[in-house]
């Protein structure tokens, strides 16, 4: 079983300037692992990370958009997989941390626990490329390939909690975080 923070550290090495939509526990980890103005913090909309990422991918087809979803969060909006699969944004890469629990909301089990195969659901929904990882070294070997194939790409990450990062709800919910992202996107789109 992989530690989520170790997986995210590997990912951060390969996407230094990419728009990232992290949600819930992945967001808390990601803010410490790769603090960046292009992190789109959409906490408070459980289940909406994939939909927000889809909107960004469609609106900015020249940019790679990475979503760091959780299994519980994705279950709240499972229909987004079909929408993404139908629209086929080639620039969208969807990672799901699959730990079988609603981690931030009290560590309650999600329906289906670890038995769900999110990658298979995404494949049937129309994602162009899907895969699943439970070994860190295999993920490390394959990450360049994952990020190079045309999307939509779906990656199921079988993880457990790693290093404990602070749950900074103030930053995630702040108007300042939204303004920082908005400014960074405007600069990116204008080429300055």
Please give the residue range of the domain that contains residue 55: 2-185
pLDDT at site 111: 64
113 in any annotated domain: yes
What per-residue confidence (pLDDT) applies to 192?
Answer: 62
Helices (H), the chain: 4-14, 24-33, 49-59, 71-75, 80-87, 118-125, 136-148, 169-173, 175-190
Task: Kindly state whether residue 37 falls inside one of the protein's structural domains.
Answer: yes
Q: pLDDT below 50 — which residues of the chain?
A: none
Q: Please, which residues have CB within 8 angstroms of residue 186's CB and are 6 or more apart in sequence?
A: none
User: How many Cβ atoms sit within 10 Å of the Cβ of residue 145?
Assistant: 10
Question: Considering the domain boundaries, does residue 190 fall inside one?
Answer: no
DSSP state of 40: -
Euclidean distance between CA atoms 170 and 176, whole angstroms: 10
Q: Which tens digits make up the pLDDT trace of 87-111?
A: 999 999 999 988 765 555 655 566 6
pTM as predicted = 0.90
Whether 191 is in a domain gets the answer: no
39: its two tokens:
């992190």
Number of domains in the chain: 1
* Cβ(53)–Cβ(92) below 8 Å: yes
**Which CATH number is 81's domain given?**
3.40.50.970
Residue 15 resides in a domain: yes
Bridge partners of residue 97, in order along the sequence: 70, 157
């Amino acid at each position: 079983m992989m530690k989520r923070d170790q997986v995210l550290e590997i990912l951060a090495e390969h996407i230094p300037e990419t728009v990232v939509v992290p949600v819930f526990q992945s967001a808390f980890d990601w803010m410490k692992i790769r603090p960046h103005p292009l992190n789109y913090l959409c906490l408070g909309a459980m289940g909406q990370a994939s939909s927000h990422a889809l909107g960004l991918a469609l609106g900015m087809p020249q940019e790679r958009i990475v979503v760091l979803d959780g299994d519980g969060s994705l279950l709240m909006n499972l229909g987004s997989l079909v929408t993404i699969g139908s629209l086929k944004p080639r620039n969208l890469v969807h990672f799901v941390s699959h730990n079988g629990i609603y981690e931030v909301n009290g560590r309650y089990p999600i329906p289906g626990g670890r038995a769900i195969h999110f990658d298979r659901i995404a494949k049937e929904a129309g994602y162009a490329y899907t895969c699943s990882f439970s070994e860190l070294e295999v993920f490390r070997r394959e990450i360049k390939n994952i990020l190079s194939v045309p999307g939509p790409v779906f990656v199921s990450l079988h993880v457990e909690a790693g290093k404990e990062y602070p749950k900074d709800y103030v930053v995630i919910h702040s108007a300042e975080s939204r303004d920082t992202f908005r400014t960074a996107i405007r600069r990116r789109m204008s080429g300055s």
